[in-house]
Amino acid sequence: MERPIYIVDAFTSEAFKGNPAAVCPLDTAQPVEWMQQVAAEMNLSETAFLVPREAGDGFELRWFTPAIEVPLCGHATLASAHTLWETGRLAANAEARFHTLSGWLSARQTAQGIEMDFPAMRLEEIAAPPGVAEALRATPHSVWLVRDQRDLEKNYLVELGGEAEVRALQPDFNLMRQQVSKGLIVTAQAEMPGVDFVSRYFATWAGIDEDPVTGSAHCALTPYWVNKLRRHELLGYQASARGGYVRVNLAGDRVVLGGQAVTVVRGSLLS
C-alpha cells in the first residue's frame, strides 16, 4: 500500500534551512514497530505520523526519532500543521488540533506564519551535573533542570556567557553519550540585532547529536528568558548550521511558538 510522505523544513521561510521533519498522514493507526522503522529510514531528527480522530475531533499525532518515540516535538508539529493546510486535509482558516503524549496541542495560521500552543516547562536551578561542562567543553554560567508537565526530567538548560560562546561550541559527543543522560539546551542573550536570545540543542540520549531548530526546547527557553528580560514576546534564534527563528510568547503555563515552514519533498512510502 502506498502512503504519502512529505519532508518539510520548519522554523524557516527558505528551503534547506530550519529543521527538516518527515510528515506521514495516515488513514488508520499503524503499529509502533512500523512507525519506528519508517523514522529510521527517513533518518531525520523527527518523523511525525498523523491519524484523523473520530467525528472530526482533530488528529492523533506521534513523533519518532530514528531511535525512539518522543513525548513532544515542536518542529514536527509545525510541519504537520503546515502539511494539513497545504494538502487541503484541513481548511486554511481551521485550527489544527493534535492529541499527543503531551496532551492537546493546537496550531493556527496567522499573517506571520504558524502559531502553536504548547505547554511551558518548569525550571529548577541546580549545580552543574557531572560531565556537562566536560562534554560541552565550556563553563556554564548557570544550569537548570527542565521538567515537563508530567514532571519528567528530559533536559538541562545551560546558560553560557554570551552568543559567541554558544556559536563556537564544539562538544565532545562521545563523552556526552557516555556521561549525560538528558538533552542539553545551551543558550545566551543574543548580540545579533532584533533577536533576544540564541540557543543550540544537543540530544545524544535520543540519537541526535545536534538538532537544527527545536520547538520543544523553546518551551523551556521561553519562561527562562521572559523572566530574565521581563518581556513576554521574544524572538529566539537557534544557531545551528542550518539555523532558524522561533517567535515566543509566554501565556501563563503555556507558550506560543511561532514560525514558518516550507515543503521540500512530496513522495510515497511503498512498504
The dihedrals phi and psi of 226, each to the nearest 5 degrees, come to -60, -40
Look at the block and give the residue holding cell 507558550.
255
Cell of 105: 496541542
Given a contact cutoff of 8 angstroms between Cβ atoms, the answer to whether 238 and 212 are in contact is yes
pLDDT for position 44: 96
Q: Which residues pair with 157 in a beta bridge?
A: 144, 185
Percent of the chain residues past pLDDT 90, beyond the cut? 95
At residue 38, the pLDDT reads 98
Q: Which residues are marked as active site?
A: 46
pLDDT in tens, 167-218: 999 999 999 999 999 999 999 999 999 999 999 999 998 889 999 999 999 9
Which cell is 140 given? 556554564
Grid coordinates given for 137: 567543553
**Four-point Cα dihedral 213, 66, 158, 175, nearest 10:** -130
DSSP-based three-state secondary structure for 241: coil
Q: What is the pLDDT of residue 171?
A: 98
Cα–Cα separations (whole angstroms), residue 259 to 19, 48, 110, 163: 11, 18, 10, 21
- For residue range 73-132, what is the model confidence (pLDDT) as tens digits? 999 999 999 999 999 999 999 999 999 999 999 999 999 999 999 999 999 999 999 999
3-state secondary structure of 146: strand
Q: Model pTM?
A: 0.93
Q: Report the candidate in 28, 64, 16 with the shortest Cα–Cα distance to residue 265.
A: 16
Quickly state the pLDDT bin for 59 (edges 50, 70, 90): very high
**CA quadruple 248, 220, 216, 140: dihedral positive or negative?**
positive
Which pLDDT belongs to residue 1? 85
Residue 234, all three cell numbers:
521574544
Contact 210, 216 (CB under 8 A): no
Confidence of residue 18 (pLDDT cuts 50, 70, 90): very high
